[in-house]
Structure 1
Amino acid sequence: MTLPKVITNLINAQNSFDSIAYADCFSETAVVFDEGKTHNGKPEIQQWIDKANKKYMTVMKPLEYTENGTASILSAECSGIFPGSPIALKFHFKIVDGLIRYLKVTE
């Protein structure tokens, strides 16, 4: 499966629990929706993923990727320290100029 560089970078950052590298995959004004919460801008995204990494230790294994223009969906098996692990999640991205502008995580 061929993934855009920014998504490959995001997966690598997630799997190494590197919240700075993870946040660097996003534009300055990016928005993330996860677990019913909204995180706006790179600083909030970095704080969110750092807290999630410490709590859940989640690693991602890509399963399927589709894209339509700037919109794309990555299905991934996510495993870590949480009930129901592993779980398949969908990551809905909008990528603009090589950076993630929008991410929504769904089941």
Structure 2
Amino acid sequence: MATSRQLAAIMFTDIAGYTALMGADEQKAFELLRANRLLQQAHIQEYGGRWIKELGDGVLASFSNAADAVLCAIAIQRSSADVADLYLRIGIHSGDVIYIRRQ
């Protein structure tokens, strides 16, 4: 396996109150999850990010610089205001990421 290190900005988002919503209204929770996924995929692509994976109601994405990650987060927050009951928390971390390539 070959590895390389790169400086990256990592963005993690999650839906505030998702676990409680799952207990109260599972169907609505799944609808919010789908809406969130579509909204974020478009913005992550628009700002040159790479969708890494979903973790429950969370999304992990990588950007080549912090400015794009922050602009993407702002766009996501603005767009999420148009989706009823979708409240997102977004964190951004900048640091070395190790990429492993399997040969």
So what's the TM-score if we normalise by structure 1? 0.24
Structure with the higher helix share, 1 or 2: 2
Greater RCO structure (CA 8 Å; 6+ sep): 2
Structure with the higher strand share, 1 or 2: 1
Q: Which has the larger radius of gyration?
A: 2
